[in-house]
């Protein structure tokens, strides 16, 4: 019998993260669900253990807080949990001009989308390498492939996630551990609402995928050990096109698609 597996999913209280946790649980993986909304995490944990019979744990945390990565790992140790798979999914975006954007919110975005993702990976990857199994699934975005005027920090954080993940995938190659970057395009979650972009062409055009379809695409890619997963034909075509467009043009297209405030 193969040893049991535990996954830590950040941003598991809703959207893509909640669905990614479901994918792992469906295959018998025990899950640790992390986000700020403790009630939503408890509800999801109960539903996953009832449906799939896996062990579930809830770890409420605010990933925008400096040093939170270390606190999370300390709490995992206290709970006696070994994380085989880390899913860095928590993230958010805001729309608007950088020069007038809420200062703290921009820093928090880097905190959640970049710093916490990097710190958790740094703390949990060595154990995976030592055991020679497991891996990291980072949720980036198609936003990571070009600059995004009026969402400048969000696009930059996702460019970081893409670059960081692809570099790590090569570093760990051949050691039993894999790193995957899931880069979704518009997806039906709370993201657009929280980012204040429900009226953006990207989300109004009907092109948004369901969070279940996006998660399942990323999960399968992770299980295959792919370094990059772009779900959906139109997202794949968009990413492919950015290779040939001058970056100044690609960033104008991005600005048009997500719109101004
Ligand atoms: N939806 C899209 O169109 C889209 C497209 C490309 C990429 N993505 C990426 O997909 C990922 C998941 O987003 P989603 O679309 O599923 O949106 P969502 O439904 O808003 O989910 C975001 C998750 O992140 C958690 N989170 C946010 N801030 C946090 C913080 N400070 N500390 C801990 N957890 C925090 C939220 O939980 P709490 O609020 O309970 O803390 C929630 O569980 C994000 O990285 C996003 O950038 C989304």
Query: In this structure, which topology does domain 91-104+127-208+232-261 adopt according to CATH?
Result: Rossmann fold (3.40.50)
Closest-CA residue, ligand 1 atom 41, reads 36
Tell me if 155 sits within 8 A of 148, measured CB to CB. yes
* CA gap 166, 188 in Å, rounded: 26
Predicted confidence (pLDDT) at residue 2 exceeds the cutoff of 70: no
Under the banding of pLDDT at 50, 70 and 90, the label for residue 188 is very high
Tell me if 97 sits within 8 A of 150, measured CB to CB. yes
Tell me if 10 sits within 8 A of 89, measured CB to CB. yes
Closest-CA residue, ligand 1 atom 42, reads 11
Where in the chain are the domains? 91-104+127-208+232-261
Closest-CA residue, ligand 1 atom 44, reads 91
Residues lining ligand 1, CB < 6 A? 11-17, 35-37, 61-64, 89-93, 112, 139, 141, 184, 186-187, 189-191, 194, 211
Residue 154 is a catalytic residue = yes
Averaged over 61-75, what is the pLDDT? 98
> How far apart are the CA of 167 and the centre of ligand 1, in A?
23
Residue whose pair of structure tokens reads 């993702």 in the numeric block: 117
If one compares 117 and 255, the residue with the highest pLDDT of the two is 117
> How far apart are the CA of 99 and the centre of ligand 1, in A?
24
Predicted confidence (pLDDT) at residue 1 exceeds the cutoff of 50: no
Tell me if 227 sits within 8 A of 165, measured CB to CB. yes
Q: 199 CB contacts (<8 Å, ≥6 apart)?
A: 259
Closest-CA residue, ligand 1 atom 1, reads 187
> How far apart are the CA of 255 and the centre of ligand 1, in A?
21
């Amino acid at each position: 019998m193969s040893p049991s597996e535990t996954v830590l999913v950040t941003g598991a209280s809703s959207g893509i993260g909640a669905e990614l946790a479901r994918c792992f649980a469906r295959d018998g993986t025990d899950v640790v669900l992390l986000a700020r909304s403790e009630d939503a995490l408890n509800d999801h944990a109960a539903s996953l253990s009832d449906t799939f019979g896996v062990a579930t744990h809830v770890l409420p945390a605010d990933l925008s807080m400096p040093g939170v990565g270390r606190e999370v790992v300390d709490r995992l140790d206290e709970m006696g949990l070994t994380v085989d798979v880390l899913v860095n999914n928590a993230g958010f975006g805001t729309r608007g001009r950088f020069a007038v954007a809420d200062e703290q919110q921009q820093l928090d975005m880097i905190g959640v989308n970049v710093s916490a993702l990097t710190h958790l990976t740094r703390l949990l990857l060595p154990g995976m390498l030592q055991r020679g199994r497991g891996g990291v699934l980072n949720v980036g975005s198609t936003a990571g492939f070009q600059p995004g005027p009026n969402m400048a920090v969000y696009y930059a954080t996702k460019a970081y996630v893409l670059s960081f993940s692809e570099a790590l995938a090569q570093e760990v190659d051949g050691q039993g551990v894999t790193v995957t970057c899931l880069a979704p395009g518009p997806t039906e979650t709370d993201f657009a609402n929280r980012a204040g972009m429900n009226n953006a062409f990207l989300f109004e055009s009907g092109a948004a995928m369901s969070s279940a379809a996006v998660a399942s695409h990323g999960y399968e890619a992770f299980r295959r050990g792919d370094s990059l997963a772009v779900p959906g034909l139109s997202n794949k075509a968009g990413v492919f096109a950015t290779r040939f467009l001058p970056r100044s043009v690609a960033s104008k297209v991005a600005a048009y698609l997500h719109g101004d405030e």
